[in-house]
């Protein structure tokens, strides 16, 4: 029997050969793109080896690459397209808004978007709109620091909170910095805590210098190991007792777990929360929302006498982003009223169960996590728990991602997350499961997972 290394090399060779055969135009375009765009892409996670795919467009649950291959899209352009590609209501609103111009100073639309957030999101007493999830996290941290007069932020190990310098630490669950260019002085303001052991959090909070505890309630990057309502309630209690603020990063969970986000799903109202991704369904928008006394630090009028935190952005009021967000929120509200969130979570559960059966039928060990419309696959025969799954060798999962592409399914590179949108149907779920079955028949994943 082949040893682990040669089994991996053999599988990699056959999967890559199939990938090359399916995607010659992307391969060629990568050469051209790399001569202009650094690395041929507009961001680290858009690349995966041996070369990324380039797309021409999409419709509903499907996206088409420049070779003309159509995929069931479970990547959703970085989890943004919760309504699928080109959702008719959003497209119609965007078309109708074109004549208003791309930027208008203090447009009425911004107030309407903020009012809609107030109606949907429990924590949203006041709102600041900005351009992205990253900006929203950075601003929320500034507001928390200004309000409390403290500097430290608690971040849980394994979480991703955008690309602010201070946030690029501890994504791997160990505390290392992600790449170069991140000064130690900045990182030293972040206190890393294990998500599962709240006694560590309690000790850290007792130091009295923590401004905020930042939580992605979906624990998406760590592997969708979300806590229970009780867990979050306990974090909230400890945080409040220590005079710090609870900040929910809802960039992934917002509008996805419920129309009012994770705070509605788990029944926890944080002091501050941030939104992005599904908020603008692909248009560039983010938001910080929260308690009016905390948000008052960003009030430029001088009406409030407390500390003042500067926050601004040239594109904060983009017409297309505001239009898309307003229409998307109205759609989420209607979907919520129709019970569509429960239906979508049911589809994701069906997907997880079907994939589990397919892997079992081929004797390939695996674990799955599901939260709302998100499913995460781990290729391992080890225990289904955060610490084990967070530290898995990524090679098998990366090859599975590539192999699925050759069978017409696009998952999130580097994780094999299957994100469903409201455009996905039962038929799509069946097709994804059948594609996984074909991958497992064609390629010998059992040889490397058993060896990993
Ligand atoms: C939980 C979380 N927070 C923040 C961000 C940053 O959002 P953006 O990429 O829009 O800046 C992300 C992006 O993936 C995220 O997953």
Q: Is the CB of 133 under 6 A from ligand 1?
A: yes
Cα(429) to centroid of ligand 1, in Å?
A: 26
Atom of ligand 1 nearest to the CA of 159: 1
- Which value, in Å, is the radius of gyration of the alpha carbons in the chain? 22
Residues 261 and 146 in one domain: yes
* Ligand 1 centroid from CA 399, angstroms: 25
Q: Decide if 97 is inside a domain.
A: no
Beginning with the edge strand found earlier in the chain, give each strand of the sheet holding 417-419 in spatial order.
367-371, 374-378, 417-419
- Given ligand 1 and candidates 166, 262, 276, which is best to mutate, with the most ligand atoms within 8 Å of its CB? 276
Q: Is the CB of 131 under 6 A from ligand 1?
A: no
Give the span between the Cα atoms of 364 and 385, in whole angstroms: 18
Does some domain include residue 282? yes
Residue with tokens 């994770």: 262
Alpha carbon 200 to its chain's center: 26
Q: Is the CB–ligand 1 distance for residue 162 below 6 Å?
A: yes
pLDDT at res. 4:
72
Q: Are residues 280 and 418 both part of a single domain?
A: no
What is the residue with the minimal CA distance to atom 6 of ligand 1?
162
CA distances from 227 to 125, 186, 443 (A): 25, 28, 35
- CA distance readout (Å), 124 to 91, 255, 287, 289: 27, 14, 10, 5
Residues 254, 304, single domain; the answer is: yes
Residue 161 near ligand 1, beta carbon < 6 Å: yes
- Ligand 1 atom nearest residue 250's Cα: 1
pLDDT tens, residue by residue, 52-106: 999 999 999 999 999 999 999 999 999 999 999 999 999 999 999 999 999 999 9
Say if 272 falls within a structural domain: yes
Which of 44, 156, 168, 252 should be mutated for ligand 1, with most atoms under 8 A from CB? 252
**Shared domain check, 309 and 203:** yes
Q: Where do we find the tokens 């946030």? A: 167
- Residue having the nearest C-alpha atom to atom 3 of ligand 1: 161
Q: Is the CB of 276 under 6 A from ligand 1?
A: yes
Q: Which of 161, 272, 286 to mutate to test the pocket of ligand 1 (most atoms within 8 A of CB)?
A: 161
Closest approach atom of ligand 1 to CA 132: 10
Reference 160, options 415, 446, 443, 421; nearest CA is 415
Whether 216 lines ligand 1, by a CB cut-off of 6 Å, is yes
User: For position 277, what pLDDT does the model report?
Assistant: 98
CATH of the domain at 76: 3.90.1150.10
Q: Of 317, 352, 367, which marks where a domain is finished?
A: 317
Residues 302 and 353 both lie in one domain: no
Inside any domain, residue 40: yes
Asked if residue 45 is part of any domain, the answer here is: yes
331 within a domain of the structure (yes/no):
no
Return all residues near 82 (Cβ < 8 A) that are at least 6 apart: 76, 255, 256, 277, 278, 281, 328, 332, 373, 421, 422
Measured from the CB, is residue 137 less than 6 Å from ligand 1?
yes
CA–CA dist 80, 283 (Å, integer): 9
Judge if the beta carbon of residue 126 lies within 6 A of ligand 1.
no
Give yes or no: residues 295 and 407 share one domain. no
Residue 117 lies in a domain: yes
- Pocket lining: 251 vs ligand 1, CB cutoff 6 Å: yes
Q: Are residues 128 and 195 in the same domain?
A: yes
Check if the beta carbon of residue 421 is closer than 8 Å to that of residue 81: yes
Which residue's alpha carbon is at the smallest distance from atom 2 of ligand 1? 161
**Residue 392 confidence (pLDDT):** 86
- Does residue 385 sit in the same domain as residue 310? no
Q: How far is CA 102 from CA 107, 164, 282, 312, in A?
A: 11, 27, 16, 18
CA distance 190 to 133: 18
Question: For ligand 1, atom 12, which residue shows the shortest CA distance?
Answer: 162
pLDDT of residue 1: 45
Is 277 in the same domain as 231? yes
| Number of separate domains in the chain | 2
CB of 160 closer than 6 A to ligand 1? yes
The pLDDT, as a whole number, for residue 79 is 96
Q: How many Cβ atoms sit within 10 Å of the Cβ of residue 22?
A: 18
Does one domain contain both 213 and 358? no
* 271 CA to centre of ligand 1 in angstroms: 19
Residues 144 and 292 in one domain: yes
Beta carbon of 252 within 6 Å of any ligand 1 atom? yes
Residue nearest to atom 10 of ligand 1 (CA): 133
288 Cα to the center of ligand 1, angstroms: 13
Question: Domain limits at 73?
Answer: 4-86+339-449
Mutate to test the pocket of ligand 1, among 133, 163, 216, 275 (most ligand atoms within 8 A of CB): 133
> 38: which 2 tokens?
């650094």
- From the CA of 216, give the closest atom in ligand 1: 1
Of all protein residues, whose CA lies closest to atom 5 belonging to ligand 1?
Answer: 162
162 CA: nearest ligand 1 atom: 6
Smallest CA separation from ligand 1 atom 7, residue: 133
Residue that is last in its domain, among 259, 287, 317: 317
156 and 223 inside one domain: yes
Domain boundary among 317, 350, 371: 317
pLDDT < 70: residue spans in the chain = 1-2, 450-452
Which domain CATH number covers 247?
A: 3.40.640.10
Residue 59 is assigned to a structural domain of this protein: yes
């Amino acid at each position: 029997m082949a040893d682990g290394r040669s089994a991996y090399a053999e599988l990699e060779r056959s999967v890559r050969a199939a990938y090359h055969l399916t995607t010659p135009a992307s391969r060629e375009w990568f050469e051209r793109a790399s001569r202009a765009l650094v690395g041929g892409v507009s961001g680290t996670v858009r690349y995966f080896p041996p070369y990324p795919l380039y797309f021409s467009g999409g419709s509903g649950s499907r996206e088409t690459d420049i070779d003309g291959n159509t995929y069931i899209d479970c990547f959703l352009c970085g989890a943004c397209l919760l309504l699928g590609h080109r959702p008719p209501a959003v497209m119609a609103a965007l078309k109708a808004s074109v004549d208003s111009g791309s930027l208008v100073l203090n447009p009425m639309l911004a107030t309407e978007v903020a009012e809609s957030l107030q109606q949907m999101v429990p924590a949203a007493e006041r709102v600041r709109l900005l351009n992205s999830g990253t900006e929203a996290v950075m601003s929320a941290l500034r507001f928390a620091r200004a309000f409390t007069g403290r500097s430290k932020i608690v971040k849980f190990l394994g979480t991703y909170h955008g690309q602010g310098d201070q946030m690029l630490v501890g994504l791997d669950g160990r505390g290392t910095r992600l790449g170069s260019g991140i000064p130690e002085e900045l990182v030293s303001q972040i206190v890393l805590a294990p998500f599962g052991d709240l006694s560590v959090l309690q000790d850290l909070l007792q130091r009295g210098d923590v401004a905020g505890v930042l939580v992605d309630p979906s624990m998406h990057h760590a592997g969708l190991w979300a806590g229970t309502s009780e867990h979050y309630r306990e974090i909230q209690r400890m945080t409040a007792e220590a005079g710090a603020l609870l900040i929910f990063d809802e960039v992934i969970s917002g509008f996805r777990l419920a129309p009012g986000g994770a705070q509605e799903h788990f029944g926890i109202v944080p002091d501050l929360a941030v939104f992005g991704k599904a908020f603008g369904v692909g248009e560039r928008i983010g938001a910080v929302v929260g308690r009016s006394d905390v948000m008052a630090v960003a009030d430029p009028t001088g009406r409030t006498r407390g500390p003042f935190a500067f926050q601004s952005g040239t594109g904060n009021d983009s017409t297309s982003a505001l239009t898309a967000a307003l229409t998307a929120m109205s759609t989420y509200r209607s979907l919520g009223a129709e019970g569509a969130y429960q239906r979508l979570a049911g589809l994701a559960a069906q997907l997880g169960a079907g994939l589990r059966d397919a892997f079992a039928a081929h004797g390939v060990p695996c674990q799955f996590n599901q939260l709302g419309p998100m499913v995460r696959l781990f290729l391992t025969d080890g225990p289904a728990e955060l610490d084990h799954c967070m530290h898995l060798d990524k090679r098998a999962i990366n090859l599975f991602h590539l192999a699925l592409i050759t069978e017409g399914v696009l998952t999130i590179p580097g994780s094999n997350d299957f994100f469903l949108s409201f455009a996905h149907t039962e038929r799509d779920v069946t097709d994804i499961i059948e594609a996984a079955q074909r991958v497992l028949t064609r390629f010998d994943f059992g040889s490397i997972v058993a060896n990993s």
